[in-house]
Structure 1
């Protein structure tokens, strides 16, 4: 799932939804979590190049089959 999430990060960098420095990051954590009643994969990326501390951690949420669900700088609940 980390490889799929990395592809999603790269796609978010291309239309600049994320800073270009995110394309060189790697996943630091992968976990399965129930979000809104559905089991999802949450893959965490860290980017120390980002100035704002609140935006240094990126969470990519994928469905169990690997489809992209969302991205956020706050942990999904």
Structure 2
């Protein structure tokens, strides 16, 4: 993946630059569920603020901006 493609997948949410799980999974060429599973199995390796879940309103906003295709 080219640097510009990566930059285009970084979003500001809650005043933090973040990447969405499905974008990271694509970058590493694995399924999203595999990425999430690996993180959950190794939580001690990540800082506490490594990840968070979007609120319903954040999801709605990102869907309306076509950042994510659906609420799923």
TM class, shorter-chain normalised?
under 0.3
Larger radius of gyration: 2
More helix by share: 2
Comparing both chains, which one has the higher relative contact order based on Cα–Cα distances under 8 Å and sequence gaps of 6 or more? 1
How does the TM-score come out when normalised to structure 1?
0.26
